[in-house]
């Protein structure tokens, strides 16, 4: 479809977007007037400029990638903007904002209060007419449509307009003699998606609680914090204070109030991650939004220390059969199977994750999905190198068990549980020293979403031609940012600043309500960077006051390390799942198509790309996820096609699903691969079931229901016990998490020896992929270890210790075995 482009100076048409924004921040090329009080700040440093780039995911419905956005806080929204909310509607919750047709509220006082002056200097260029068009007037480009006129009454060439605006971020352009241009004097601007820029101004009329200082004492079990209500001309109403720690009200005797300052001293606080929530009112009635402050007591704050586990909610554990409700007429493999928040919480409380050394859990997006079963297809033939667009298929219905088809963005998915059960899950995880990442679906919504029906014309790409722009039909790289994953998943248009503001507020709301610690960002390659930059900005400004980062890890399914790295930046995302290294590890350990020397070289090359692009990046290593065939089945030779032959592996899952591996070699390779991914730089991921070697072909066969305890066979039980030892070793040895990673000591096709080093110590990893025992005499002089230094095998304490002698280190390694030798 044709779209109006309004960035060029000669463009005379108005944009089709009609939106309302409302957040807090900074303003440029505007100044105060005497109309009403406003705290508008002018920031000279320009904010980052956005650029369009899409993302890729493999779909859960009929071979088309799926990604969707859901919000747990409480707003109805589709993928273009999180929820339909209007500032005129009553607020539902301080965390969620109003439940209406515009954006979730970032400010609890949406009335107009910002008296500002827009100025355009036409002394050099001249102008006969200057109009103001923006989010505040529906981007009206003419007086007849409602544009706001600037005036130059004294004919000095300076055109001005005094205006009042509500709290929030407002995007605008000047229309000078019919030409649309950004404000030349305002450095604050963002990519408009059409080769130009929108200027923006941030107006803040509200009150806020600011963290002035804080401290923690793990030994004493105390948290101290000082909060202050700002701006200073506001007067705190002490009776209005609402402060909780982990959702329990802070006792009055733990608070001291003096003027606008609140001093908190919290005692008898157990080790773990803790959420302090606070809100308050000024005596004039203005209410601050709820602030969430994160504290870590006796547990790591550095995300590099994490061991991440992905628990697909529906397929992990059924703790409440009353909410199962599978859809009628849907095959079990694509239907709800009963997993829920209660089941996952129970496993947390039982210590299942503690035994694995897990310190972070990524869960499915908890928001509501469509209740309908969608018509699709499955492969009806199988061979390698299959193409989804040219193969025999059979009809198949799919449910949204995977949580990638968001509908009512303000509600929790009823198959997973309730809002209260989600909160109990997060709180239980925090009490066990485990952080929680939500799968944030940001590319689309389902066509059943109210956001689609109410904002079809302004929040979505191809609102009337989506079925002709399905990614798999036109090519995934043809229109990556605007194509639809399927004909029923409308694609959000983040060139529209209102969509950006809405979805970012939605994400913030879910964090504040749930207590989540990070997001896994679905299908990053398909999302405009406007969204990523604004999300990162809001997170930094509103959720990282205590110095604990909110982790963003993206999904860009590609073997191109440079493309993966292109989304890494301080103002974008800090990490991505390392797909290029995943492929190399599968080729090196699962299918054994390449030597370990070549594998390691390729992994190091990929990680060098990430580090050189963004030195502070924190990538995530993985050998399995919900889009590729299971490692154990690949390693057992039970899959006929390659590791990333996605469609062919999907077909085998339907026509000839693999059983449990009978060859112990498959488990040996899994142990080697897990040891490698857990001892090289990055946050390692365990995809649920890989800790036991669960079998499976492609989606949905790689998403079988998890099983525990007596349901495990001997091989699976042995694999689980190995993973518990490996997780414990990593959790107990900082070098394996943050140490330097020098070049390998030995690199051969079937043997790899490398070290993580620091502060005069070393952890030496030995991986023997071969079928023969190896007696090794390794030169460790590059590590600087003194003769007589003793090392012990963390994975097998029954092994005798070894000592460095004459700069060398001698060990014997059984076939297909990993070892981790650690200095005291």
pLDDT average, residue stretch 644-654: 97
Q: What confidence score (pLDDT) does residue 88 get?
A: 31
- Among 55-59, 569-573, 685-689, 774-778, where is mean pLDDT lowest? 55-59
For residue 114, the model assigns a pLDDT of 67
In the predicted structure, residue 569 carries a pLDDT above the cut 70: yes
Residue 32 has pLDDT above 60, yes or no: no
E-state strands within 135-254: 148-149, 158-165, 168-176, 179-181, 189-191, 197-203, 208-217, 222-230, 242-245, 248-249
d(Cα 701, Cα 778) in Å, to the nearest integer? 43
pLDDT tens profile 728-753: 999 999 999 999 999 999 999 999 99
pLDDT tops 90 at residue 9: no
- Rounded Cα–Cα distance for residues 24 and 4 (Å): 29
Please check the confidence at residue 72 and state whether its pLDDT lies above 70. no
CA dihedral 491, 496, 501, 503 (to 10 degrees): 0
Give yes or no for a contact between 446 and 400, defined as CB atoms under 8 angstroms apart: yes
pLDDT at 112: 57
Confidence bin at 29 (pLDDT 50/70/90): very low
| Range from 88-97, 171-180, 433-442, 710-719 carrying the lowest mean pLDDT | 88-97
Query: Among the listed ranges 93-107, 131-145, 257-271, 539-553, which one has the minimum average pLDDT value?
Result: 93-107
CATH topology of domain 739-822: Immunoglobulin-like (2.60.40)
pLDDT value at residue 202:
94
Residue 55 confidence (pLDDT): 24
| 591-645 pLDDT tens trace | 999 999 999 999 999 999 999 999 999 999 999 999 999 999 999 999 999 999 9
Which two structure tokens, joined as six digits, stand for 778? 């390794």
Element (DSSP H or E) covering residue 347: helix 341-350
pLDDT at 193: 85
Q: What pLDDT, on the 0 to 100 scale, is given for residue 86?
A: 28
| Per-residue pLDDT at 194 | 86
* Structure confidence at residue 18 as a pLDDT band (50, 70, 90): very low
Retrieve residue 406's tokens.
Answer: 């968001």
For the chain, where do the domains classified as CATH 2.60.40.1180 start and end?
739-822
Mean pLDDT for the stretch of residues 228-256: 97
In this model, does residue 543 exceed pLDDT 80? yes
What ranges make up the beta strands (E) of 594-668?
620-622
- Residue 717 has what pLDDT? 98
Per-residue CA distances from 584 to 464, 622, 671, 672, 678 (Å): 42, 11, 16, 14, 15
- By C-alpha distance, which of 73, 108, 74, 77 is closest to 90? 108
Q: pLDDT higher for 136 or 21?
A: 136
Q: How far from the centroid of its chain's Cα atoms is residue 476's Cα?
A: 22
Pick the CATH number of 208-287 from 2.60.40, 1.10.20, 3.90.700, 2.40.160: 2.60.40
pLDDT for the residue numbered 113: 67
Q: How high does pLDDT run on average in the chain?
A: 88
For 301-358, write each residue's pLDDT tens digit: 999 999 999 999 999 999 999 999 999 999 999 999 999 999 999 999 999 999 999 9
Tokens of residue 639, six digits: 């899959």
Helices (H), 636-713: 646-655, 664-679
């Amino acid at each position: 479809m044709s779209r109006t482009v309004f960035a060029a100076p000669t463009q005379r048409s108005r944009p089709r977007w009609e939106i309302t924004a409302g957040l807090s921040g900074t303003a440029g090329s505007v100044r105060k007037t005497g109309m009403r009080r406003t705290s508008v700040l002018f920031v000279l440093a320009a904010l980052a400029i956005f650029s369009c780039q899409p993302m890729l995911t493999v779909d859960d419905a009929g071979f088309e990638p799926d990604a969707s956005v859901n919000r747990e806080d409480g707003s109805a929204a589709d993928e273009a903007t999180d929820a339909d909310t209007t500032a005129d509607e009553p607020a539902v919750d301080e965390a969620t904002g109003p439940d209406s047709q515009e954006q979730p509220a970032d400010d609890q006082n949406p009335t107009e209060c910002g008296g500002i002056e827009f100025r355009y200097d036409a002394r050099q260029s001249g102008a006969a007419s200057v109009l103001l068009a923006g989010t505040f007037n529906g981007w009206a480009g003419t007086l007849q449509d409602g544009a706001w006129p600037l005036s130059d009454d004294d004919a000095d060439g300076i055109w001005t307009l005094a205006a009042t605006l509500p709290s929030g971020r407002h995007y605008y352009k000047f229309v000078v003699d019919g030409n649309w241009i950004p404000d030349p004097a305002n450095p604050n601007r963002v990519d408009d998606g059409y080769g130009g820029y929108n200027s923006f101004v941030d107006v803040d009329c509200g009150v806020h609680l600011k963290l002035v200082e804080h401290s923690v004492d793990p030994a004493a079990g105390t948290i101290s914090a000082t909060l202050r209500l700002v701006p200073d001309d506001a007067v705190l109403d002490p009776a209005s204070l609402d402060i909780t720690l982990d959702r329990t009200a802070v006792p009055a005797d733990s608070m001291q109030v003096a003027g606008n300052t609140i001093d908190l001293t919290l005692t008898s606080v157990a080790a773990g991650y803790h959420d302090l929530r606070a809100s308050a009112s000024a005596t004039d009635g203005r209410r601050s939004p709820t602030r969430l402050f994160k504290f870590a007591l006796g547990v790591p704050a550095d995300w590099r220390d994490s061991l991440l586990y992905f628990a697909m909610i529906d397929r992990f554990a059924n703790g409440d059969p009353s909410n199962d409700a599978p859809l009628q007429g849907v095959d079990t493999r694509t239907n709800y199977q009963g997993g829920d928040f209660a089941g996952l919480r129970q496993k947390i409380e039982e210590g299942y994750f503690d035994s694995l050394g897990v310190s972070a859990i990524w869960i499915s997006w908890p928001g509501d999905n469509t209740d309908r079963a969608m018509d699709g297809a499955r492969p009806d033939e199988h061979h390698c190198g299959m193409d989804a667009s040219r193969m025999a298929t059979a009809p198949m219905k799919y449910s949204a068990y995977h949580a990638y088809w968001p509908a009512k963005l303000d509600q929790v998915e009823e198959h997973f549980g309730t809002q209260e059960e989600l909160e109990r899950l997060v709180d239980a995880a925090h009490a066990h020293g485990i952080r929680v990442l939500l799968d944030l679906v940001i590319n689309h919504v389902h066509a059943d979403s109210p956001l689609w029906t109410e904002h079809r014309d302004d929040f979505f790409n191809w609102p009337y031609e989506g079925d002709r722009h399905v990614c798999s039909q036109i090519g995934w790289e043809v229109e990556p940012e605007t194509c639809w994953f399927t004909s029923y998943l409308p694609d959000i248009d983040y060139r529209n600043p209102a969509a950006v503001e809405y979805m970012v507020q939605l994400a913030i709301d879910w964090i504040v309500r749930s207590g989540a610690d990070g997001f896994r960002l679905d299908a990053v390659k398909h999302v405009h960077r406007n969204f990523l930059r604004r999300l990162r900005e809001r997170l930094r400004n509103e959720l990282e006051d205590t110095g604990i980062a909110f982790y963003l890890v993206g999904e860009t399914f590609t073997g191109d390390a440079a493309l993966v790295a292109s989304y890494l930046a301080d103002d974008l995302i800090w990490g991505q799942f390392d797909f290029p290294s995943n492929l190399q590890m599968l080729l090196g350990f699962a299918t054994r198509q390449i030597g370990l020397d070549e594998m390691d070289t390729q992994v190091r090359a990929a990680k060098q790309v990430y580090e050189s692009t963004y030195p502070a990046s924190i990538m995530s290593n993985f050998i399995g996820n919900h889009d590729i065939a299971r490692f154990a089945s690949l390693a057992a030779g039970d899959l006929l096609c390659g590791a990333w032959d996605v469609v062919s592996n999907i077909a085998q899952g339907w026509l000839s699903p693999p059983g449990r591996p009978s060859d112990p070699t498959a488990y040996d390779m899994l142990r080697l691969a897990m040891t490698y991914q857990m001892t090289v730089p990055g946050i390692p991921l365990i995809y649920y079931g890989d800790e036991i070697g669960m079998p499976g072909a492609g989606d949905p066969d790689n998403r079988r229901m998890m099983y525990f305890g007596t349901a495990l066979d001997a091989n699976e039980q042995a694999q689980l016990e190995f993973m518990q030892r490996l997780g414990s070793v990593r959790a107990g040895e900082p070098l394996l998490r943050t140490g330097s990673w020098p070049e390998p000591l030995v690199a051969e096709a079937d043997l790899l020896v490398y070290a993580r080093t620091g502060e005069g110590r070393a952890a030496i990893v030995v991986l023997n992929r071969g079928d023969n025992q190896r007696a090794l005499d390794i030169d460790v002089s590059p590590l600087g270890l003194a003769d007589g230094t003793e090392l012990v095998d963390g994975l097998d304490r029954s092994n005798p210790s070894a000592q460095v002698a004459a700069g060398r280190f001698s060990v014997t390694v059984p076939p297909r075995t990993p070892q981790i030798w650690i200095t005291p």
